[in-house]
Amino acid sequence: MKILVAVKRVVDYNVKVRAKADGTGVETANVKMSMNPFDEIAVEEAVRLQEAGKAKEIVAVSLGVAACQDTIRTALAMGADRGVLVETDAELQPLAVAKLLKAVADQEKPDLIILGKQAIDDDANQTGQMLAALLGWAQGTFASKLEFVADALNVTREVDGGLETVALKLPAVITADLRLNEPRFVKLPNIMKAKKKPLAVLKPTDLGVDVTPRLVTLKVQEPPKRQAGVKVDSVTTLVDKLHNEAHVI
């Protein structure tokens, strides 16, 4: 089985995200960038399937600026075998990403594609679903457990109020939720080894995909600043403030 894993370069989850002063987007200049945390989970799952003898090859794919090579190298250090970068400076919206991933899948012919359930920068939660639709493949989104049973892949999904298990026929698209696994720490020797693993660079035009954005971002703004709390000296004052100031009781 061959697995394709989509890895996105995003603002590191420890960084406090700031809106650009002109409201056109999020500030990314001089900001630490890392692999989208849900994509780390996706890579980890692929590597575990390979370690369990279920997968032969793992290809990590990233789409975006040249620096996405670093994100791919991280996936290679975690255990992916080779990388594909579709390089562009253009803004990529989920539909364009899904079309590019479909084009890569048409070339690579994987049995399974694992993505994160959402990217923590755009919070779109769209790409996996669009990709499955474009490919006409089965999809298991918000996956918290994968289990191969006979010729099916059982996917346990985190849904409102519980867990749902669906049986998928391969080829299929999976999107990884938080509880699927805990990604491993990358060890230095593996970082060194990853530098020697193959990484192909393509352009969207090589894949015949038009990545023109379909949506216009009107404005990006930060949430209103929270006011500092106060300490009250008695329950009576608290009840009074909740009643007369906050008007919640």
Least distance from ligand AMP to the Cβ atom of residue 63, Å: 4
Query: Which residue, 55 or 176, has its beta carbon nearer to ligand AMP?
Result: 176
The three-state DSSP-derived secondary structure of 38-80 is HHHHHHHHHHHHHHCCCCCEEEEEEEECCCHHHHHHHHHHHCC
Query: Which residue, 63 or 146, has its beta carbon nearer to ligand AMP?
Result: 63
Least distance from ligand AMP to the Cβ atom of residue 94, Å: 4
Query: Which residue, 112 or 115, has its beta carbon nearer to ligand AMP?
Result: 115
* Residue ranges binding ligand AMP (CB under 6 A): 6-8, 36, 38-39, 42, 62-64, 92, 94, 97, 115-116, 118-119, 122, 124-128
Least distance from ligand AMP to the Cβ atom of residue 121, Å: 8
Distances from the Cα of 153 to the Cα of 56, 82, 178, 185, angstroms: 16, 24, 19, 27
Least distance from ligand AMP to the Cβ atom of residue 118, Å: 4
Strand partners, 70: none
Which residue type does 217 have?
A: T
Which residue number has the CB closest to ligand AMP? 116
Helix, strand, or coil here: 103? helix
Query: Which residue, 11 or 63, has its beta carbon nearer to ligand AMP?
Result: 63
Query: Which residue, 12 or 241, has its beta carbon nearer to ligand AMP?
Result: 12
Distance CA 109, CA 103 (A): 10
Q: In terms of residues, how long is the chain?
A: 249
Segment (H or E) for 95: helix 94-108
Least distance from ligand AMP to the Cβ atom of residue 70, Å: 13
